[in-house]
Amino acid sequence: MKKSIINLFAVAAIALSGVSCEKFLTVEPIDKMSAETYFKNELELELFANGMIQSYLPTADGLGYSDNFSDLTCTKTSSDYYRQGIWNAQKQTGWEVSSWRNIRRANIFLAGTERSKANVSEAVYKHYQGVARLWRAYFYYAKVQNFGDVPWMDHALDIEDEILYAPRDSREFVMSKVLEDLNFACENLSGDSKYKGVVNKWVALAFKSRVCLYEGTFRKYHKVNPSTQEAWSTEYESANDFLTECVNASEQLMTEGGFGLDSSYYGLFHNTNIASSPEAIWWSDYDGGELNRMHELTWVVNSGTYDQQSSPTKTLLNHYLQKDGTPVTHGGKVGPDVEFANRDARLAASVMYPGYTYETSAGEILPKQMKTGNTYNGYCYVKFSIEKEENYSKGKNDNDYPILRYGEVLLNLAEAKAELNNGNLSQADWDKTIGALRTRAGVKNIYPGGAGYVSDWTKAYYGNLSDVLTEIRRERAVELVVEGLRVHDLYRWKLGNLIVDRESNGKGWHGIYVNEAQAAVDAAGAAAHQAAYNALTSEADKAAYIAANKDKVFVLNGYFYSFKGAPASDLGYNVNNSEADQNHAFSETKSGFVTYNYKLVWNERNYVRPVPQSAINVNKALTQNVLWEGIK
């Protein structure tokens, strides 16, 4: 399948311009709506559809990076969107002509399918109409997430179309139209293996599951439309209507789609042929050979200069249960030898642990070093990282990236059903969703409120919800980390403040725990320990040295670290206890969690972005999102 898609991509750019392979030199571009002879057969529909894939398929880099600015990921800096006094309508983009071109192309495709109707079967005709409507729903979903109320366009506009200067439509109306498009796509797209890996029935059902959960919970936890600050209209679907649609889509996919959980959580994210996984519904395909199409998710977590040096936080690690199904009781105030022991297998599949190795450029397998220039709080992501030294300084990942997968659908179903049932979920539904995910991760499946269930800090963190909803939110955090959904989860739950609070009262991101003796070790002291350790020749002696000294100096994988004074190498932090931006402090003054300070501010208006002033200047009928009015 991979090679067939590659071959289609070779001509897909031509398709997006609306010309066939043979006639691309003579036919006018379809974007100008003057090539009336295009879309006349199934091949041309297929070419255009695959051109949409080439242009708009989400990438690993785009999705992987989008979890950066959240409560669970520490970064070197953050988005100006969360900084005091920086963001406003003048700075905002996303309304320029190019940002609407994707919707225009979906509408062009939808209109084009009508021209093929006499020359293709009814099933083919409806399938490609479904493709066009799925893409339109996809693009509009992103617009609504960003801006709330937006203008709805169901056809390709020309320069005299009055919609160009029309006001915004309400979010409720737009999302009702999005739901119409999704329902059409789910009912008419083919689920045949011919369309595996591209837009098909199962992609539509999984995406509908995601969209309807988002909109249903957003309206439940936000009592007003954030664009207008007015109560939600009763003219269109309610929060519960969307949640019910989520349940319906999820259950249909689970019943009819033939999908299941991959046997290996770690393997799912290091797979170079994810099409073979029972869990993959839609994915971004990478190939280090014929296509030479690769991504950067190893580079960005192993570089001290490139991107944001993204690191998991203590808050994330404290989400992971023990294998017996209960939460840890130490609160993370332990060293790595204790912290990673007896935990949910997804922790070791996502975060570097003691004993973790990598392959050097010379082919040796060695313990991996936690370079403090690469991580600002002491933890390292490994979820998508290919542990070869040659990948650490370039974009060379060829592992595929799942865009929609069966595990997420299970989470969506559990949450939607619980939200519809006052925070409760039957044990049967629990067992086939959350319970199934935990069983795969080697965690004992304990039903919330049942025998052996233990509540913890996540209860308050997520707003003192029912035990079931609390555990579902915990499960989303550990199952979907670095998959691009965390910020939107916080937004729909009306918990955007956690991006700023971060369990540190807004001071920064908590990282590894260092006791008072370890905190007092300077660079010279760490170097002395390292020299003594390196002089030992037997593995038994090295293990004994670490056991005798681990409470005196922080050590991971045979590397000893300093925290006092300026570090002399990649083996130290300069913890100066300054609360100024981009400085390190201990959470308990002389010891505690290594905290990387970066001051952020949360405002209620952040749940939707401002309409760009440049757009309002052109179209006077556009209104500003209410809480952004007057913000300069």
3-state secondary structure 153-169: CCCCCCCCCHHHHCCCE
Q: Say if residues 221 and 494 touch (Cβ distance below 8 Å).
A: yes
pLDDT at residue 289, rounded to an integer: 66
Closest CA to 47 of 26, 25, 30: 30
Mean pLDDT of the chain: 91
Which pair of tokens denotes residue 185?
């796509």
Q: Is the pLDDT of residue 2 over 50?
A: no
DSSP H helical segments within 441-594, as ranges?
458-461, 467-479, 486-492, 498-501, 516-519, 523-535, 539-549
Q: Say if residues 565 and 571 touch (Cβ distance below 8 Å).
A: no
Residue 305's pLDDT band, with cuts at 50, 70 and 90, is: confident
Tens of pLDDT, residue by residue over 39-66, are 989 999 999 999 999 999 999 988 888 8
Which pair of tokens denotes residue 448?
């919330």
Report how far Cα 119 is from the mean position of its chain's Cα atoms. 41
Residue with tokens 């990942």: 397
Residue 31's pLDDT band, with cuts at 50, 70 and 90, is: very low
What's the N-to-C CA distance of the chain in angstroms? Answer: 51
Residue 7's pLDDT band, with cuts at 50, 70 and 90, is: very low
Average pLDDT over residues 466-487: 97
Residue 215's pLDDT band, with cuts at 50, 70 and 90, is: very high
Sign of the CA dihedral running 548, 551, 552, 558: positive
Q: Is the pLDDT of residue 238 over 50?
A: yes
d(CA 205, CA 583): 46
- The H-or-E segment that residue 349 falls in is helix 345-350
pLDDT at residue 6, rounded to an integer: 36
pLDDT at residue 348, rounded to an integer: 98
pLDDT at residue 36, rounded to an integer: 62
SS3 388: strand
Q: Is the pLDDT of residue 204 over 80?
A: yes
Q: Which of 8-12, 52-56, 251-255, 430-434 has the lowest mean pLDDT?
A: 8-12
- Sequence-distant (6+) residues with CB within 8 A of 542 are 533, 536, 558
Residue 565's pLDDT band, with cuts at 50, 70 and 90, is: confident
Which residues on neighbouring strands pair with residue 513, listed in sequence order? Answer: 593
Q: Which of 471-475, 489-493, 539-543, 581-585 has the lowest mean pLDDT?
A: 581-585
Residue type, 161: D
Q: Which of 235-244, 336-345, 386-395, 528-537 has the lowest mean pLDDT?
A: 386-395
Closest CA to 352 of 366, 363, 336: 336
Helix 239-256 with 201-221: angle, nearest 10 deg: 150
Q: Is the pLDDT of residue 612 over 50?
A: yes
pLDDT at residue 12, rounded to an integer: 39
Average pLDDT over residues 110-119: 93
Q: Which of 16-25, 255-264, 481-490, 611-620 has the lowest mean pLDDT?
A: 16-25
Residue with tokens 């339109």: 136
pLDDT at residue 48, rounded to an integer: 95
Sign of the CA dihedral running 511, 515, 519, 523: negative
Domain assignments of the chain as residue spans, ordered by start: 2-258, 508-597
Q: Is the pLDDT of residue 425 over 50?
A: yes
- Sequence-distant (6+) residues with CB within 8 A of 555 are 529, 546, 549, 561
Residue 568's pLDDT band, with cuts at 50, 70 and 90, is: low
Tens of pLDDT, residue by residue over 83-113, are 999 999 999 999 998 999 999 999 999 999 9
Return the DSSP state at 575: B
For the chain, percent of residues with pLDDT exceeding 70:
93
Residue 210's pLDDT band, with cuts at 50, 70 and 90, is: very high
Q: Is the pLDDT of residue 322 over 60?
A: yes
Which residue did the predictor score with more confidence, 32 or 111? Answer: 111
CATH topology of domain 2-258: 1.25.40
Tens of pLDDT, residue by residue over 144-154, are 999 999 999 99
Mean pLDDT highest for which of 214-218, 287-291, 568-572, 586-590?
214-218
